[in-house]
Structure 1
Amino acid sequence: MAKKSSKKKVSPKVEEAHVLPLSVKKILANVRPTPMIENGLSNEDKIEKITEKFTEILEVLGLDLKDDSLIDTPKRIAKMYVNEVFGGLDPHKFPKMTVIENTMKYDQMIVIQAIECLSFCEHHFLPIDGVATVAYIPNKKVIGLSKINRIVQYFSRRPQVQERLTKQIADCLQYVLETDHVAVHINAKHYCVMMRGIEDTHSTTATSDLRGHFKTLPETREEFLHHCRLK
């Protein structure tokens, strides 16, 4: 008598939920990549493996994981990494993009200031804490304002270098909005500078990606940089 297969059947709805929408695939294909490999692990697998590895790390550091304050720390770190601070590595978490036709023929600069920009330095896995200023000049489309904040948040939630993060945000907006006129500025403190090495707690790092009129027209460039300097 043939043995029954132990494989669980996956319902069509569950399978459908794990299929990445074509629109998201196209957007991410037009954004410069973060160095990644496909390891075939589900989020649950990642949490399990990171928990194991962090248990080893904390034991090597000499911490007592039987202490009631530390006993769940490896699992907490694993869940935080996978579900929160590195959620931008999961393409299924890419935010829904809402754009509308520019029927009002708006052709001036749109600027979003003081966007919270929290990331992790990929060299030391310490926080990058900054603010982003993002602007664009519409062509045929305009975007829901909160979507720009969500784009910044999505690409921030990866191990990053600030230069790549700046360009990923600009790449995404240029593709989604179908306009060449995009500008991104980030000013941030790096905890790898604050907590180790030089231990400088005051300096900040500024990066910009100016495209289209923001790069070629001095008055447009100056107007944008003026917005970046405003508190």
Structure 2
Amino acid sequence: MYSSKKAPIEDLTDQDKLESIQYHFYKIMEALGLDLDDESLKKTPERVAKMYVNEVFRGLNEKNFPKISFFDNSTNYKDMILVDNITMFSYCEHHFVPFFGKVAVAYMPKDRVIGLSKINRIVQFIASKPQIQEKLTVEIGQKLSELLKTDDVAVFIEATHLCVASRGVRDEKSVTKTNFFSGKFLKDKMRTRFINALGK
């Protein structure tokens, strides 16, 4: 049996994590009866460890948070800024298989605006860890509200979940849609403008 006690992850270096994941993934493959001397498989534990730590779960380490550029709202722009069709890949925390799709983010600026590509980077960073889509949606909205110093934020995510498409019910066509609204976007008029702008 495994223990649910949380490890002191803050004490682990990236190298510690790589070695631990590599060892434990080796044991998983061994338990499955795979030939770990096979040329195609023998480096798989190492490859998986590097993928987890350096790529798909890099969002677990706040040191990897992207550098953000802000600009004074010198034009005094007060209307909605919408960034649509942001590519998102994440992992379901229930089965550790991917879910992926598109994210749309909108906000009403106050004293400052953010570099547009930085919104994509923030979404991709937050997505890079095991989680459920609902949590991802809320975290993106809350982080942007915090960074932009505005309550007026909206987030929409439409995603395909491989835990649904590749196992269990095996429905490859279903998608899951989630929303986050705060500030002015809680009002029907602004929420409708946001949804209409997405063509949903």
Q: What band does the TM-score fall into relative to the shorter chain?
A: over 0.9
Greater mean alpha carbon deviation, residues 38-47 or residues 86-95: 38-47
Structure 1 residues 138-163: Cα deviation after superposition (integer angstroms, max 9, x where no partner): 01110000010001000100001001
Q: Which residue identity does 1:222 align to in structure 2?
A: T
Mapped to 2, the partners of 1:148 and 1:168 lie a distance apart of 13
Q: Among all aligned residue pairs of Structure 1 and Structure 2, give the percentage whose two residues are the same amino acid.
A: 47
In the alignment, structure 1 residue 213 sits paired with structure 2 residue 197: no
Structure 1 residues 79-107: Cα deviation after superposition (integer angstroms, max 9, x where no partner): 00000000000111000111111111000
In the alignment, structure 1 residue 200 sits paired with structure 2 residue 171: yes
Q: TM (normalized to structure 2)?
A: 0.94
Mapped to 2, the partners of 1:74 and 1:210 lie a distance apart of 41
Partner of residue 225, structure 1: 195
Displacement after TM superposition at 1:39 (Å)? 4.7
> Structure 1 residues 101 and 165, CA, compared in 2 at 3 Å: closer, same or farther?
same
> Structure 1 residues 227 and 122, CA, compared in 2 at 3 Å: closer, same or farther?
same
Structure 1 residues 207-229: Cα deviation after superposition (integer angstroms, max 9, x where no partner): 0001111111x221111112333
In the TM superposition, 1:38-187 aligns within 5 A as 38-187=9-158
Q: Which ranges of 4 or more aligned residues in structure 1 deviate by more than 2 Å?
A: 35-39, 227-230
Q: Is the 8 A contact 1:121 1:159 kept in 2?
A: yes
Q: Is the 8 A contact 1:120 1:160 kept in 2?
A: yes
Q: Is the 8 A contact 1:113 1:227 kept in 2?
A: no
3-state SS of 1:187 partner = strand
Structure 1: unaligned runs, 5 residues or longer:
1-34
Q: Say what the alpha-carbon RMSD is for the aligned residues.
A: 1.4
Displacement after TM superposition at 1:176 (Å)? 0.7
Structure 2: unaligned runs, 5 residues or longer:
1-5
> Structure 1 residues 151 and 108, CA, compared in 2 at 3 Å: closer, same or farther?
same
